[in-house]
């Protein structure tokens, strides 16, 4: 926790907090441009926010936080920016290992590995292995990730099993689809946070966020604070989550 941002009390009962928070970290480039800085400075500052929010998730006992780091559509950006993002990712994986171990954080990464440089993949694997026995918050990074591609890959996997006779068509259900996604074994997000004010999902966790509560802020990701994060959780704690049903008042004695 930085000296400029003291520990804040959340004052939300544990049972009213989300177990799994997914975040679309938007606005790095715009934050930099508003301050007449190169776009890469926004990504550097955004990496600091990742550390701040991840540590807070660990402190609060949140089971998982999944961060949208690089979408499959982001490869349309300038080559220089993409090269820097790969460098920043590799640097983050190395520099944050001590933080992950100190906070008992377990790292997972989802997405397609093609187009990710071999040296970056090697650092990904080292960090995953190093933290594999940690039992605290799971930090899941979505890298070269797209929700539609994930579902297509799941359909291909299931279709192959049916074609090989390992499954029948009648075996295909929601649980099987969930188990065939990149996020197999993970709980679905309870809360989806998006920064920078955009009101769209951007091809993120399309299957998994079916019943997630959404919270959008105008704050850019590099300036997203612990207070902002707490505001999102407080807002979530006051939502009436019915999952398609009705909350029936309990009879009074």
Model pLDDT for residues 11-42, shown as the tens digit of each residue:
999 999 999 999 999 999 999 999 999 999 99
pLDDT above 70 for 3: no
CATH at residue 135: 3.40.1180.10
The alpha carbon of residue 32 and the mean position of all alpha carbons in its chain are separated, in whole angstroms, by: 22
What domain range includes position 120? 18-146+192-201+213-235
1 within some domain: no
Q: Is 26 a catalytic residue?
A: yes
In the predicted model, what is the mean pLDDT of residues 49-67?
97
Query: How high is the pLDDT of residue 143?
Result: 96
Q: What is the pLDDT of residues 167-209, one digit of tens each?
A: 999 999 999 999 999 999 999 999 999 999 999 999 999 999 9
CA–CA gap between residue 153 and residue 135 (Å, rounded): 29
pLDDT above 90 for 120: yes
pTM reported for the whole predicted model: 0.91
Identify the weakest region by mean pLDDT among 31-40, 41-50, 74-83, 163-172.
74-83
In the predicted model, what is the mean pLDDT of residues 127-152?
98
pLDDT above 50 for 141: yes
In the predicted model, what is the mean pLDDT of residues 128-157?
98
Across-strand partners of 236?
none
242 within some domain: no
**CB contact at 8 A, 212 and 186:** no
Phi and psi of 30, rounded to 5°?
-65, -35
171 within some domain: no
Query: How high is the pLDDT of residue 6?
Result: 59
In the predicted model, what is the mean pLDDT of residues 111-139?
96
Count Cβ atoms below 10 Å from residue 196 Cβ, excluding itself: 21
61 within some domain: yes
In the predicted model, what is the mean pLDDT of residues 33-54?
95
pLDDT above 60 for 5: no
Give CA separation, 122 vs 28, 50, 74, 93, 187, in Å. 26, 21, 21, 10, 27
Q: Is 74 a catalytic residue?
A: yes
174 within some domain: no
pLDDT above 80 for 2: no
Q: How many domains does the chain have?
A: 1
Query: How high is the pLDDT of residue 73?
Result: 87
158 within some domain: no
- Can you give 59-119 as a three-state secondary structure string? HHCCCEEEEEEEEHHHHHCCHHHHHHHHHHHHHHHHHCHHHHHHCCCEEEEECCCCCCCHH
206 within some domain: no
Across-strand partners of 192?
22, 214
154 within some domain: no
In the chain, what's the furthest Cα-to-Cα distance? 68
Annotated catalytic residue: which of 28, 36, 74, 231? Answer: 74
């Amino acid at each position: 926790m930085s000296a400029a941002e003291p520990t804040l009390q959340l004052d939300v009962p544990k049972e009213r907090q989300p177990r799994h928070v997914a975040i679309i970290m938007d606005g790095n480039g715009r934050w930099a441009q508003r301050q007449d800085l190169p776009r890469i400075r926004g990504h550097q500052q955004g990496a600091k926010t990742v550390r701040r929010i991840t540590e807070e998730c660990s402190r609060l006992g949140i089971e998982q936080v999944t961060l949208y780091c690089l979408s499959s559509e982001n490869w349309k950006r300038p080559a220089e920016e993409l090269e820097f993002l790969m460098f920043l990712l590799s640097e983050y994986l190395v520099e944050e290992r001590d933080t992950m171990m100190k906070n008992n954080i377990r790292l997972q990464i989802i997405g397609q590995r093609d187009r990710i440089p071999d040296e970056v993949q090697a650092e990904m694997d080292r960090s995953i292995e190093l933290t594999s026995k940690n039992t605290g918050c799971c930090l899941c990074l979505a890298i070269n990730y797209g929700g539609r591609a994930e579902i297509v890959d799941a359909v291909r996997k299931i279709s192959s099993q049916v074609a090989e006779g390992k499954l029948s068509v009648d075996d295909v259900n929601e649980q099987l689809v969930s188990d065939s996604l990149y996020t197999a074994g993970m709980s679905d997000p309870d809360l989806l946070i998006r920064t920078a004010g955009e009101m769209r999902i951007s091809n993120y966790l399309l299957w998994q966020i079916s019943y997630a509560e959404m919270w959008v802020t105008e704050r850019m990701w590099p300036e997203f604070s612990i207070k902002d994060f707490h505001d999102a959780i407080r807002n979530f704690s006051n939502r009436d989550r019915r999952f398609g049903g009705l909350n029936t008042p309990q009879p009074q004695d």
